[in-house]
């Protein structure tokens, strides 16, 4: 199965929840990084890593597909 087919295939319910959480975490972290106030370097570093982790988790959860052959 190609990546294009996996991307448009039906995603299992659990992975949809994971995707929503990852997108929300990434959005919150983006707001923290883009904040117009001075924040400690540790907070910005953690937020940057959270953006990367959220993006990866959301993308990978989109690529999971239901396997109806075994049912």
Residue 10 structure tokens: 């039906």
pTM of the model: 0.80
pLDDT confidence tier of residue 3, bands split at 50, 70 and 90: confident
Helix (H, G, I), strand (E, B) or coil at 33: helix
- Residue 7's contacts (CB-CB under 8 Å, 6 or more residues apart) are 62, 63
Q: 32, 43 in Cβ contact below 8 A?
A: yes
Question: Averaged over 9-32, what is the pLDDT?
Answer: 93
Residues 38-67 pLDDT 10s: 999 999 999 999 999 999 999 999 988 877
Residue 68 pLDDT grade (very low, low, confident, very high; cuts 50, 70, 90): low
Q: What is the pLDDT of residues 21-38, one digit of tens each?
A: 999 999 999 999 999 999
């Amino acid at each position: 199965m190609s990546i294009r087919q996996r991307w448009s295939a039906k995603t299992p319910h659990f992975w949809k929840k994971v995707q929503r959480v990852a997108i929300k975490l990434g959005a919150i972290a983006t707001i923290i990084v883009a904040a117009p106030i001075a924040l400690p370097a540790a907070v910005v570093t953690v937020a940057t890593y959270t953006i990367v982790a959220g993006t990866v988790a959301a993308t990978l959860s989109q690529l999971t597909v239901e396997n109806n052959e075994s049912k």
